[in-house]
């Protein structure tokens, strides 16, 4: 049970209750304690004139125990421990023509009667732990076809002749799994040990690889009577594990046909041997964890009739301003969805939004860059400048090496950019283009943290100076790329207007207003447009800040910003507008005169962007009381504000060395990291050295 991870199915509520499993074998001991209450009164003996369903042999009882041994406080537990066994005895010792010493053999005529009895008894699954070398004739194949047409599915043992048996193929009737007439209704089952290694005695997948699974068949414990148990080996005891797994699926997901249950087990098998389907392990090892997970894309219905596709391969991130708001939604986004097989699953849509990567970008030194610049002087004092740049190859500080913690949706190629600038008199204009995550150089000292959320690849800037005031307008557009995913083009943009007023040579005041248009999600969020999780949003922002000389040797830097965000996604919207804030306060002194051995000393405290208020709203399907009940929808709401408030405090210094180089040191303490209350306080110490020449 541990090897096939049956407990995961049990925890999901699957027990096999209400499912009848036919065991075509050597009969069953009706008094076997571990099968008490699990044996159907319809159990029979199909051999003419014998009428002894409880035969002297233990084989059928041991096989049945693997399927349905009760959860009764002793012995073992069957895979489908509340299923019902219809034992169909069909063995006849006198028909062991090829090996007279065999105690239990199965003649074709009796197996035909057994299959027809299974059809009449309306069983869902049949286990056949038996086999031989050759095809079983047209009459048997006709009976098998009748059963398949009636919706019955089979688990059949592959045989115990080992790797060399019949050319490395399963025995019959298991090999009928690869016959086009029955394909999809039969799983032929090999055996592996507790280390997931194919048992030496087990027939391999061979020609039946596409319909072959391996189940645990070494040292299997079954047939317990309260004081002792049997320890058995063979594909006879791996096959009923698959039969029990089919029963669990059919009970847990009553919309499934038998063929669909077979396909699910084959599709979700645990990888073993060579990658993919191979001639030894076939599709792999029976795995109920995977079988009870959604297969393919899970479609979650919405009140509008549109669906949201949930897969394990796609992902979304919320912007850092929201912190753990989705994690703390309190089940507001719990709903139901259907996978590729139309199976009903509970789905937590909140879990599809990951928290933003940790904001370590501000802790890293600027990546070393190589630059080339061409400047041409024009008439009337005008200047045209072309600048190209790229991150230094193999630099340990290339942000490409850190994308997994900063912006994992960016690839790891080298950052490159170029800029064209034109200036004449009091005016200037510039165009910049970057790729692979290169950062826009248009940092104006006002609302930079808002503009940077767009992560643009192309930006334009125009500026004009009027007296002591410089007016600047800039805008940019960004694409998003994820390794191995299609590039999302023009999904984010910003526009900003800044007024920079220099009150003196050392003091200035800046005002900025602007807007963000983000198709994937608000405030730097990332959600693929075709996933259904995208949250198209618009944000207006404003900020005020500046630098002020408190003394000739002491300067105050301060900024405060606000943002207002509205969004509407396929299933999620803001019923109350989200209001966000950010602020920073710093003091800088030129400290040579203070005797600290430094050129400058800076202390700062800041709050990164944080959502202060707002309410998310979604209309989602409620979990139905019955599997086939019509879905009803209800409104769910939760706060857009995170549980904590991140505060960063830092102290930095610049030291000029004797050779003309400079050493920069910076220490940072962060409280409520990622805006999560009670996050461990983090400490960071950084240093960098550089020299210009």
Q: Give tens-digit pLDDT for 119-145.
A: 999 999 999 999 998 999 999 999 999
Lowest-pLDDT choice from 97-111, 375-389, 462-476:
97-111
Last residue of one domain, picked from the residues 233, 259, 291: 291
**237 inside domain:** yes
Whether 338 is catalytic is no
Check pLDDT > 90 for residue 325: yes
**343 inside domain:** no
> What confidence tens digit (pLDDT) does each residue in 449-473 have?
899 999 899 999 999 999 999 999 9
Which CATH number do you get for residue 640?
Answer: 2.40.160.10
Check residue 142 and report its DSSP letter.
Answer: H
**335 inside domain:** no
For residues 69-75, give the mean pLDDT.
92
**Do 274 and 376 fall within a single domain?**
no
**1 inside domain:** no
Check pLDDT > 50 for residue 401: no
Which CATH number do you get for residue 34?
Answer: 3.40.50.200
Number of domains composing the chain: 2
Among 43, 90, 214, 236, the one annotated catalytic: 236
Check pLDDT > 50 for residue 362: no
**Do 111 and 189 fall within a single domain?**
yes
CA dihedral 322, 328, 333, 339 (to 10 degrees): 100
pLDDT score recorded for residue 413: 55
**327 inside domain:** no
**Do 370 and 283 fall within a single domain?**
no
pLDDT score recorded for residue 678: 83
Residue pair 677/665 in contact (Cβ under 8 Å)? The answer is no
What strands, in cross-sheet order, belong to the sheet with 186-192?
44-45, 84-89, 20-25, 125-128, 153-157, 186-192, 212-216
Among 43, 45, 59, 287, the one annotated catalytic: 59
640/578 Cα distance (integer angstroms): 7
Is the whole-model pTM more than 0.85? no
**Do 224 and 366 fall within a single domain?**
no
**Where does residue 122 fall: left (phi above 0), alpha (psi -120 to 50 degrees), or beta otherwise?**
left
Residue pair 27/2 in contact (Cβ under 8 Å)? The answer is no
**Do 375 and 286 fall within a single domain?**
no
The residue among 416 and 408 whose pLDDT is bigger is: 416
Whether 103 is catalytic is no
614 burial level (CB within 10 Å; 0-12, 13-18, 19+): buried
**320 inside domain:** no
Sorted by sequence, the CB contacts under 8 Å of residue 269 that are 6+ apart come out as 213, 282, 283, 284, 285, 286, 287, 290
**322 inside domain:** no
For residues 588-596, give the mean pLDDT.
72
Is the four-CA dihedral 326, 330, 333, 337 of positive or negative sign?
A: positive
**Do 287 and 417 fall within a single domain?**
no
DSSP 517-534: EESS-STT-B--GGGS--
pLDDT score recorded for residue 484: 55
Last residue of one domain, picked from the residues 259, 291, 323: 291
Range(s) of the domain holding residue 544: 361-690
Whether 178 is catalytic is no
**611 inside domain:** yes
**Do 498 and 582 fall within a single domain?**
yes
For residues 220-242, give the mean pLDDT.
95
**Do 401 and 271 fall within a single domain?**
no
**Do 446 and 536 fall within a single domain?**
yes
**Mean per-residue pLDDT of the chain:** 89
Last residue of one domain, picked from the residues 291, 312, 342: 291
**Do 577 and 442 fall within a single domain?**
yes
**Do 284 and 369 fall within a single domain?**
no
Q: Residue 639: which pLDDT band, with cuts at 50, 70 and 90?
A: very high
Percent of the chain scored above 70 by pLDDT? Answer: 90
Lowest-pLDDT choice from 309-323, 482-496, 563-577, 587-601:
587-601
**Do 221 and 365 fall within a single domain?**
no
169/279 Cα distance (integer angstroms): 9
């Amino acid at each position: 049970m541990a090897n096939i991870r049956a407990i995961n199915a049990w925890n999901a509520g699957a027990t096999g209750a209400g499912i009848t499993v036919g065991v075509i074998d050597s009969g069953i001991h009706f008094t076997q304690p571990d099968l008490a209450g699990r044996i159907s009164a319809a159990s029979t003996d199909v051999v003419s004139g014998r009428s002894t369903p409880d035969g002297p042999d233990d084989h059928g009882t041991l096989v049945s125990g693997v399927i349905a041994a009760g959860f009764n406080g002793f012995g073992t537990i069957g895979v489908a421990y509340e299923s019902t066994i219809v034992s169909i005895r069909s063995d006849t010792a006198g028909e062991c023509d090829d090996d007279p010493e065999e105690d239990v053999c199965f003649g074709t005529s009796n197996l035909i009667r057994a299959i027809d009895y299974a059809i009449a008894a309306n069983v869902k699954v049949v286990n056949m732990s038996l086999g031989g070398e050759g095809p079983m004739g047209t009459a048997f194949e006709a009976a098998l076809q009748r059963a398949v047409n009636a919706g019955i599915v089979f688990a059949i043992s592959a045989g115990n002749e080992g790797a060399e048996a019949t050319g490395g193929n399963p025995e019959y009737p298991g090999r009928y799994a690869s016959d086009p007439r029955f394909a999809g209704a039969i799983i032929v089952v090999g055996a592996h040990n507790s280390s997931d290694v194919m048992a030496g005695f087990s027939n391999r997948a061979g020609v039946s690889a596409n319909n072959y699974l391996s189940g645990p068949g070494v040292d299997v414990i079954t047939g317990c009577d309260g004081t002792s148990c049997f320890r058995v080996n063979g594909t006879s005891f791996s096959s009923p594990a698959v039969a029990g797994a089919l029963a669990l699926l059919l009970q847990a997901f009553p919309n499934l046909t038998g063929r669909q249950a077979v396909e699910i087990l084959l599709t979700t098998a645990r990888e073993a041997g060579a990658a993919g389907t191979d001639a030894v392990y076939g599709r792999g090892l029976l795995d109920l964890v995977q079988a009870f997970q959604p297969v393919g894309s899970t479609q979650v219905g919405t009140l509008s009739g549109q669906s949201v596709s949930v897969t394990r391969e796609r992902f979304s991130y919320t912007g850092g301003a929201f912190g753990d708001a989705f994690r703390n939604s309190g089940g507001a986004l719990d709903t139901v969805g259907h996978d590729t097989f139309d199976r009903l699953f509970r789905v937590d849509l909140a879990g599809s939004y990951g928290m933003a990567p940790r904001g370590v970008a501000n802790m890293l030194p600027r990546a070393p860059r190589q630059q080339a610049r061409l400047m041409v002087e024009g008439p009337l004092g005008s200047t045209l400048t072309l600048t190209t740049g790229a991150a230094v190859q193999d630099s340990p500080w290339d942000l490409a090496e850190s994308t997994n913690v900063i912006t994992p949706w960016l690839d790891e190629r080298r950052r490159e950019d170029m800029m064209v600038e034109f200036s004449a008199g009091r005016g200037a204009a510039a165009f910049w283009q970057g790729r692979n995550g290169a950062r826009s150089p248009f940092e104006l000292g006002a609302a930079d943290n808002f503009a940077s959320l767009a992560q643009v690849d192309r930006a334009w800037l125009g500026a004009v100076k009027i007296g002591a005031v410089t007016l600047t307008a800039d805008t940019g557009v960004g694409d998003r790329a994820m390794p191995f995913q299609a590039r999302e083009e023009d999904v984010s943009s910003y526009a900003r207007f800044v007024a920079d007023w220099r009150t003196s040579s050392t003091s200035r005041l800046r005002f900025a207003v602007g807007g963000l248009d983000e198709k994937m999600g608000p405030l730097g969020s990332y959600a693929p447009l075709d996933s259904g999780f995208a949250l198209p949003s618009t944000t207006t922002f404003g900020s005020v800040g500046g630098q002020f000389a408190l003394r000739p040797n002491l300067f105050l830097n301060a900024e405060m910003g606000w943002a207002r965000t509205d969004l509407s996604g396929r299933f999620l919207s803001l019923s109350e507008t989200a209001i966000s804030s950010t602020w920073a306060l710093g003091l800088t002194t030129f400290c040579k005169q203070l005797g600290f051995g430094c050129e400058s000393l800076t202390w700062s405290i800041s709050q990164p962007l944080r959502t202060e208020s707002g309410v998310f709203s979604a209309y989602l399907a409620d979990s139905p009381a019955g599997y086939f009940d019509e879905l009803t929808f209800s409104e769910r709401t939760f706060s857009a504000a995170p549980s904590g408030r991140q505060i960063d405090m830092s102290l930095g210094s610049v030291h000029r060395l004797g050779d003309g180089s400079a050493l920069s040191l910076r220490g940072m303490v962060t409280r409520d990291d990622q805006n999560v209350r009670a996050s461990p306080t983090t400490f960071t110490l950084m240093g960098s050295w550089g020299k210009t020449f």
